[in-house]
Structure 1
Amino acid sequence: MASASTSKKMREEATCSICLHLMAEPVSISCGHSYCQACLLRFVGPPSSLPSEQDTETFSCPQCQALFQRGSLRPNKQLGSLIAALREQEQQQQQQLEQEEEQEQEQELSCEEHGERLHLFCEDDGQLICWRCERHGQHKGHNTALVEDVSPGYREKLQEAVRKLRQLEEECTNQKAFTAKQIAQWKRQKIQADFHNLRSFLREEERSYLRKLESEEQRTLQRLRVREANLGQQSRKLKYHIRELEERCQGSAQKVLQDVKGALSRSQDVRLETPEALSLEIQTQYKVPELYFELRKRLRSHQGT
């Protein structure tokens, strides 16, 4: 079986950079990068209404910004087989982990102070206690109940917290994919179309304007990448809280209740920081129409001569 570091490296290589999960039905584009088929189709959007243009539509790779066409998408069966093997390996590891956890759960927790079994739950302090803590200790007179009676209710609260965190995670993933699409689309500027008819005459002017745009482009892309990085960090934080609560839900009644109020409080404090809206309007001004007519006049003058 592969080592932990090797498995981690394999998972990183097999993770879709759009949804941050293992790729499902991976497809590759002309630059060599691969993504989930559904993620990439959602990224490029619906095809053109003209059948003749559907396969030749051009997009930018979310990772390296290299151009690719819709028709260049190819299923990566070899990568799909490796991902299937990786999933099977992780499933086996998960089953082994669950077996170990079950063995641990069979060993009931005991009170550190009195050595008695922790079969009661103090609602006032949110702690597992023994019968001696309830009668003689600091929990005397508190509202207590049997672990078996209160654990189902707290288990439902934990599962509800997981559901809300998953909604935040999905929203975060959608915003990250949208930001990645903005980064790719920003590089496709309308300015090239304005130079199409007289490209040979306007080449130097176009280069001049593109140089001016370069500094503006870097600033805009930097802000978008910072936002993308923030969303990635929030996504990892949400995954951590979800995993913590799911492991608690799958545990024994005592594990469910151990510091359960603290766990619920931490999950309720999680918020998704919505990125501020960024204007993608180009600020650099250019005067292609005036330049176009001036050059056309010069061309006619030259042809008349």
Structure 2
Amino acid sequence: MPSMPSQEETPCPGCTGPLKDVVTGTCGHTFSRSRLLPPSQMGAQPSCQVLLCVLCKEKEPMKPLVVPVPLGPLGETCCEEHGEKVYFFCETDAEFLCVACREGPSHRTHAVGVLDGAAQPYRDHLQSQMDARSLEKKQMECTRRREDEKLQELLTHMHGKKQQVDEAFGRRRQELADHQCLLQARLRELERQIHLEGEAYTSRLSEEIAGLGTQVQALGEQLQRPVSALLQGRLSQYETKTFVTPETISPDLVKKIRDLHRKILPLPEMLRTFSENLAHYLDTDSGKQLGVWGPFSPPSTQSKAANRATRYVKCGA
């Protein structure tokens, strides 16, 4: 039996001493071989006797025990019985053998292989697993790069859409501001004309009032004259002109005010309807609502980037 330096420091669960000549039963427990069989029962092939586990007391069947692979380097493993280096591995007893053990009666008829050859299937399996994991890792990295590119493209598309929305609403705001300025200018012009015609009306009316005042005063003076003087005069000289009240503002200005009033009157309802239709348009899934934008028509086609982004979102869903 070879010595296993890396396991000697581990205590045996059966005797709490160091693990020596380690075996593992079919029950899964690992302990020293000396705790499994009395020395008087040790035969030429002790690993094939009926054994009793010292931990679970389970009777073991007639099958070879498994010897754990030593944790230390194989080059440092030496045969405990002969003190020679271990070069072989007994597949029947799962034991490491030196040259003397290999030629001994206990393993002469067993399937024995060189250590490197015995370990080759394990190396091949590990290499196969490593290659498979490496390939899977590369595939996942490619998938991550591809999806990252899609996400970045989608984010770029969203950024462009944000700018498009800002530009669209900015243009609408500018157009509304221009229309507002135009209406305000027309209202200010009408106010100016109203002030001018109002001042003219007030001035003319003031002149007429002053003239009437002069006539009233003259007539009052005539009333104070003696009867003889009144009779000498003619009645026609006391007649006054009929006063015609002037128009406050001209008919042309009235027409301008009425025309602008007819334009402004439905404006709040138009803007409210536009706002409601826009909100309804944005809340619908398809976004295909007729007459939503009023005088503003939405784009009829999407860009290639928008189509790609839409396909990506549908695939992701």
State if a TM-score over 0.5 links the two structures.
Answer: no
- What range is the shorter-chain TM-score in? under 0.3
With the length of structure 1 as denominator, give the TM-score of the two structures. Answer: 0.26
**TM-score normalized by the length of structure 2:** 0.26
Higher relative contact order (CA 8 A, sep 6+): 1
Q: Which has the larger radius of gyration?
A: 2
